[in-house]
């Protein structure tokens, strides 16, 4: 699997939004089938059309992303993006944990099962019957093609049924309050690391990205309109912080020796861990009391 092609380092707000975060937010926000095309355009962006592959085949009601949005519109009850990595699985469900860790991202979603025609002699459920819920995980596999000047991406989502995930994810990700506290600390540490490294001096291609990350990045054009201000602020800060960490860890830069490089890498891994959890918290929608 080709992993982690979701955050290319270019000064484009949409480029620092992982595909899984975008998908989780837009699946939650899409309540009518008519809204599906616009949501898919935002998620896909400059990619080729996204494909879906269910493992094992078990009746996924869609063959591509737009069809999935249409079928699930108004039926999503919970959604979240998580960002696992080596040594930090973030509670990724067992059926997809290895590929989610490799991809460093995953979408978890719970939907109300669609209406099914009852068989002979079967009485359909009454209006007060509890909803039948289905739990799914989606992991993107990203293949790059083209040139540096004209890059392209083929994205295939591996889709699998999973068990209930809400309680576990809430416990791992934490609250928006937790996320905001960690982000404030992480932004200070990561900015200091960039200043020490003087990335723009030894990587000319990074200068524009660094300039774009000195101030909060406006992601309103790629977020659903109904994302509340606090959630959007956490999401934007987490996206900005992950982009900064990407730059600071791309090379040892100004490290004097291996020990210094290792110390800086260790510190930035902790910063990235906080940013990944904050971004998950900003995408997490679960029913009250879940």
Per DSSP, helices labelled H in 36-175 are 36-44, 65-72, 97-103, 166-173
Q: Is residue 188's pLDDT more than 60? A: yes
Prediction pTM value: 0.83
Q: Residue 265: its pLDDT value, please?
A: 66
* Tens of pLDDT, residues 232-245: 989 988 888 887 77
The whole-angstrom separation of Cα 247 and Cα 238 is 14
* Tens of pLDDT, residues 267-280: 677 778 888 999 99
Domain boundaries, the chain: 13-116+124-172, 176-278
Q: Residue 68: its pLDDT value, please?
A: 95
Question: How is residue 16 written in tokens?
Answer: 């620092």
What order of strands is seen across the sheet that includes strand 76-82? 51-54, 151-161, 133-146, 106-112, 76-82
What is the average pLDDT score of the chain?
80
- The answer to whether the CB of 60 falls within 8 A of the CB of 52 is yes
Q: Is 20 helix (H, G, I), strand (E, B) or coil?
A: helix
Chain position carrying tokens 């699946």: 27
Helices then strands (H, E): number in the chain? 10, 5
The share of the chain scoring above pLDDT 90, in percent, equals 44
H or E, element range at 58: none
Q: Residue 135: its pLDDT value, please?
A: 96
């Amino acid at each position: 699997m080709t992993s982690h092609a979701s955050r290319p380092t270019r000064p484009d707000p949409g480029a620092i939004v992982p595909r899984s975060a975008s998908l989780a937010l837009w699946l939650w926000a899409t309540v009518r089938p008519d809204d599906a095309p616009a949501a898919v355009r935002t998620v896909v962006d400059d990619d080729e059309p996204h494909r879906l592959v269910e493992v094992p085949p078990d009746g996924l009601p869609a063959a591509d992303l737009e069809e999935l949005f249409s079928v699930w519109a108004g039926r999503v009850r919970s959604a979240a993006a998580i960002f696992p990595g080596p040594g930090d699985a973030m509670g990724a469900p067992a059926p997809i944990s290895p590929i989610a860790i490799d991809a460093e991202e995953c979408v978890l979603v719970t939907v109300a099962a669609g209406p099914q025609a009852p068989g002979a002699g079967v009485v359909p459920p009454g209006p007060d019957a509890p909803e039948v819920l289905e739990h799914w995980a989606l992991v993107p596999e990203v293949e790059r093609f083209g040139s540096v000047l004209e890059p392209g991406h083929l994205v295939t989502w591996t889709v699998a049924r999973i068990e209930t995930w809400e309680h576990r994810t809430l416990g791992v990700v934490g609250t928006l309050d937790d996320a905001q506290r960690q982000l404030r600390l992480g932004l200070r540490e990561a900015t200091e690391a960039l200043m020490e490294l003087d990335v723009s001096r030894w990587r000319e291609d990074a200068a524009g990205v660094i300039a774009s990350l000195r101030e909060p990045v406006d992601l309103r054009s790629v977020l659903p309109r109904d994302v509340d201000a606090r959630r959007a602020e956490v999401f934007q800060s987490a996206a900005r912080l992950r982009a900064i960490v990407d730059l600071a860890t791309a090379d040892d830069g100004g490290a004097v020796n291996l020990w210094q490089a290792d110390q800086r890498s260790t510190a930035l891994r902790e910063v990235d861990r906080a940013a990944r959890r904050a971004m998950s918290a900003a995408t997490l929608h679960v029913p009250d009391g879940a």
